Structures are given as C-alpha cells and as structure tokens.
C-alpha cells in the first residue's frame, strides 16, 4: 500500500474524479459524432490504495479504482497505468485488471517518463489520432522530467500534474545556495531550465565589503515555494495553451507541499478545472 495519505490526498482524488466525470460527459457527445476514442493515462498509478491519516485502518481508495468505477454517461475506452515498483504494480493489477474484467486495461511496470513518450508517439500515430486523452501525473517527488512533458504539448490531452513545490523544489534549494551538482541537475531536468536561469530566480546576490575585502552574499528568496509554483506555471504555459489555477496541498502545519495543476489546449477544460479546484482551496486562490 502506498504511504503518504491525508485529507489533501483525498481532495486531490476528488478533484480528478470530478474532472473525469465532467470530461466524459462532454466527450460523450463528441465521441459518438466524430468517432473518437477516450484514453485514460495514469503515470504514477500506485498500488490501488493509499494509507490514510490513521495509518492502515482506513486506507483511501486510490485514483485508479475510482476512475475505473465511472460508467455514466460512459467510461474510457482504454486505461493505461504506469507503476515503477513491481510490488505495487502487482497489487494494482488486482484492483484494476482483475476487478474490471470487461474494461481494456494495461499496466506497465516501468518508468513514467518512458511511457509518456510512448503515449505521445501513440497519439501521433494513425490509430492514435482517433484518441483524446486524460492524463494524471501524481508523483511523490520530482520524478517527472520536463522533456517527457514536452512531448505531449501538441496533443489533445488534458493533464493533471502534481508539482512538488514544497516537498521537492524548495528542499533542493538550500538556504545558503550551496547546492550539489546532483541536485542542480535534478532541478534542471525537472524544470527544463539551465542552472544559470534557475538560480537567479530563487537567490539574490549582493556584494558586501568586509575587513578582508569584497565578498558575495547569497540570499534565498523568502517565498521560494510560491516562486517555484509560479515558475512551473509559466513553464507549463510555454507548452500548453491553458493552465488551471492550482489546488494547493498543505500539511497539518499549514506548510505548502504540492501544487496540483491541470493543463490543456482547450479553454473550456480549464474553466471546468478551475470551478472544481475552487471548492477545495481555502479561498486564497
């Protein structure tokens, strides 16, 4: 079972499910008319259950099952789940393939980045051109490479992305700016930017004069989490025409952990996403 649950975990799934229902309702009309097929892609699918706040007692039903349960007004034509951990992929098989024998479900026990690129290739193919897709990218950390997301930009795909602003980016941005090469490279892959562009965004440099001469003082911006959310939003906007307002996930101490965005090349899709997320934010967004 996946660790790491909480109220925000449930909200995130409710947002996704709410959106998927609206998506299927709208797409239902067009799918018949234009012979479209609907594909659901989950890049970090998990084990099928998430540990609740009370530990093991009341596990939260994961997104995979919730999405598969939707039948009205229609279901997706194809479901593709990616999970890197073999044990989780096997558990997921039970709650998906075995529990929904009449649905077309695939599970790939591999890295999400690889499969996002395969998804993009598929959507570009002759067969894939008939497909419209809804994707869910729900990592714990910074596993999503910017390069992978880039491959989706021209496609007819709506993507919900969990961005680890507080739990990922901010943690790598050390207070004194002394970031290891490995962490810098992680930031570069995640943001699709060079360190020369990333660092000035989060740090200020000032010359100070001491008894021993001139020194450079590096100060981290105070609102680095919000800055990272803004930056990622801008980056998303460079790929997709529209980016939703985020659902902001906070822990019990009210610290921001993640921002949950939806991107699409369809304007109507974004206004639906915004309507849904508004209910879950505390009025500040």
Task: Give residues in contact with ligand SAM (CB under 6 A).
Answer: 2, 13, 44-46, 50, 62-63, 82-85, 88, 111-112, 138-140, 143
Nearer to ligand SAM, 46 or 166 (CB): 46
CB of 205 to ligand SAM, least distance (A): 34
Least separation in angstroms between residue 53's CB and ligand SAM is 15
Cα angle, residue 154 at apex, residues 279 and 34 outer, rounded to 5°:
80
Nearer to ligand SAM, 165 or 203 (CB): 165
CB of 126 to ligand SAM, least distance (A): 28
Measured over the CA atoms of residue 30, residue 31, residue 35 and residue 39, the dihedral's sign is: positive
Query: Which residue number, 227 or 263, has a Cβ lying nearer to ligand SAM?
Result: 263
**Please, which residue, 50 or 163, has the CB nearer to ligand SAM?**
50
Q: Least Å distance between CB 116 and ligand SAM?
A: 9
Kindly state the smallest distance separating residue 195's Cβ from ligand SAM, in Å.
Answer: 22
Nearest approach in angstroms of CB 16 to ligand SAM is 8
> With respect to ligand SAM, which residue has the nearer C-beta, 139 or 246?
139
Distance, in Å, from the CA atom of 244 to the CA atom of 281, rounded to the nearest integer, reads: 13
Q: How far is the CB of 51 from ligand SAM (least distance, A)?
A: 10
Q: Which lies closer to ligand SAM via its Cβ, residue 83 or residue 240?
A: 83
Ranked by CB distance to ligand SAM, the top (closest) residue is 62
Q: Which is nearer to ligand SAM, 53 or 85 (by Cβ)?
A: 85
- What's the number of CA atoms in the CB half-sphere (13 Å) around residue 116? 26
């Amino acid at each position: 079972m996946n660790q790491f649950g909480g109220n925000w975990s449930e909200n995130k799934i409710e947002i996704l499910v709410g959106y998927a229902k609206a998506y299927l309702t709208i797409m239902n009309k067009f799918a018949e008319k234009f012979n479209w097929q609907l594909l659901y892609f989950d890049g970090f699918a998990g084990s099928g259950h998430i540990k609740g706040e009370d530990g093991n007692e009341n596990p939260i039903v994961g997104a995979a099952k919730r999405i598969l349960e939707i039948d009205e007004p229609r279901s997706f034509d194809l479901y593709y789940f990616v999970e890197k951990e073999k044990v989780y992929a096997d558990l997921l098989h039970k709650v998906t393939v075995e529990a929904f024998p009449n649905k077309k479900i695939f599970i790939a026990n591999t890295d999400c980045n690889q499969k996002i690129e395969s998804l993009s290739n598929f959507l570009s193919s002759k067969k894939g051109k008939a497909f419209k897709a809804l994707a869910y990218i729900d990592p714990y950390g910074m596993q999503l490479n910017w390069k992978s997301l880039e491959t989706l930009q021209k496609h007819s795909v709506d993507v919900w992305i969990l961005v680890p602003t507080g739990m990922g980016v901010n943690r790598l941005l050390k207070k004194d700016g002394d970031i290891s090469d490995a962490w810098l490279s992680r930031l570069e892959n995640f943001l699709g930017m060079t360190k020369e562009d990333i660092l000035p965004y989060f740090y200020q440099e000032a010359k100070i004069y001491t008894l021993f001469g001139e020194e450079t003082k590096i100060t981290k911006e105070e609102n680095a989490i919000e800055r990272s959310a803004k930056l990622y939003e801008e980056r998303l906007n460079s790929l997709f025409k529209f980016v939703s307002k985020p659902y902001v996930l906070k822990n019990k101490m009210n610290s921001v952990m993640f921002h949950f965005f939806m991107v699409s090349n369809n304007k109507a899709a974004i206004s639906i996403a915004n309507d849904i997320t508004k209910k879950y934010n505390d009025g500040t967004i």
